[in-house]
Each structure stands twice: as C-alpha cells, then as structure tokens.
Amino acid sequence: MPQTALNLIAVGIFLMTMTSLLGPILQIPPVVPAAVTFGILGLATADTLSWNSRGVSLLLDLFASKEQRQRIINHEAGHFLTAYFLGIPITGYTLTAWEVLQQGRLGRGGVSFDTQALTAKPYEFEAMRLTLERFCTVWMAGVAAEKIVYGDAQGGAEDRKQLKQALVMAGLPEVGYPQKERWAQLQATNLLTRHQQSYSALVEAMKQRASVAECYEVIQQYCDADSERLAASN
C-alpha cells in the first residue's frame, strides 16, 4: 500500500485512540471511534485498489503546509534542471495531486520525461549504458536538491523505485544498486551545485507554474551567470 494511504490509516488510528480516551469525558459512544476507523481503513483500501491512491493524495494535499509545498517544488526543480542539462526531453510537470488529476494522469505526478531512449531496443551497449546513467542521475536529483537546500531529503521513494526498476531491466546485478544510487546522487549534486543561480530561478518559475518552454528559457538565461561564477571561483 502506498505511503500516502498508510499515513491516512495512521491518522485514523490516532483519532480512534484519542476518541477512546476522551470518550468517557465527552460522552462519546464507544461505537463512534470504531466506526470512524473502519470508515477510514475502508476508504484507504478502496482508493488504493480502484483509484491508484489519488483520493488519498488529494486529501493529504489539502493539509500540506507551505513548507511542504515548497520542498516539493525544490525537489522537482532538481529533476527538471538535471534533465535539461543531461539532454533528456521534459514533457511536463505537476506539483500537486490536484494538478495530476486535472491532466488525467496516474501516479503522484512530478516531472515527466520522454523515456523512449531508455526503453528502446539496446542496439549499442555503450550508448544504452550512458543513457541509463543519465536517467539514474535525473532520478536522484530530487533527493540531491532537497539535501542541498534543507540538509535532508523527505521525498525520493518513488525515484529510487524507478531507478531500481531500470537497473533490473538492464540486467545489472542487485549487489551494485546501492553504489549506483550513491553515484547518481553525487553526479546530480555536482550538477546542481554548478548551476545554483539557474536552479534558484527555475524554482521560482515552477512556483509560478511556468510552462516547460518558459522554464527552459529561465535556465538558459542564468547559464552565463553560473559560468562566470564558476570561472571567478577558479
């Protein structure tokens, strides 16, 4: 079951516990907390099985704090910027569950990429290896961005899942997955560090829901400033 559904279940259990404790004082019948918990568990299960957990995501979005929303933008901007510089086409992005629903998409949203290069028949091993490494770097860029900005990362579970699935499809031994993940995160960190001004400008553009083309323009606009800063530091 997705983490969002588990979070909702945890909230339901917490409410049941508090209602049970306060029930005698507030004169709440014992059947009430049980009914509430049963209802929440039923809704979470039905939503997971029939609606791909979008209902739970929408509910949790309503209670997301300003800080949580900003963290999501910083996370997704990391994906976006890294994909841009590694030449991976971006097809769109969403920052809330509501935006995902409006676009008629499945899943929890984020930055969408053109993955044809990754799923194409591997005619040339070296080309496919380099393509896989680029995608791995992009997938770990959200975690890298959060750690640069906040010192830790709260998101990234879905990104790690995608990375692992790609490595499995490539036939790579599982023992090397953690090393590949660390390598990809380091590459993403280095790229984001080199393009600090572009990243900051992109975060603001995505906050305003700029189009993909407009985000491209913003990044390019600040590329020269980042190059001059790196030249001066050397």
pLDDT tens string 184-229 = 999 999 999 999 999 999 999 999 999 999 999 999 998 877 777 7
> What distance in Å separates the CA atoms of residue 101 and residue 107, rounded to the nearest whole number?
9
Smallest Cα–Cα separation from 115: which of 81, 162, 47?
A: 162
Number of neighbouring beta carbons within 10 Å of residue 7:
14
Same domain for 171 and 78: yes
149 and 34 within one domain: no
pTM: 0.74
pLDDT digits (tens, 9 = 90+) for 8-62: 556 555 656 666 665 566 565 656 555 655 555 555 554 454 445 555 555 556 6
Pairwise CA distance, residues 111 & 95, whole Å: 8
Which residues form the domain of 101? 66-233
Q: How far apart are CA 115 and CA 169, in angstroms?
A: 13
Residues 181, 81 share a domain: yes
Residues 56 and 70 in one domain: no
Residues 18 and 76 in one domain: no
Pick from 62, 80, 103: which residue ends a domain?
62
Residue at 204: amino acid letter: E
80 pLDDT band, cuts 50/70/90, is very high
CATH assignment of the domain containing 88: 1.20.58.760
Find tokens 């049963």 and name the residue: 38
Nearest to 139 by CA among 173, 120, 167: 167
The count of domains in the chain is 2
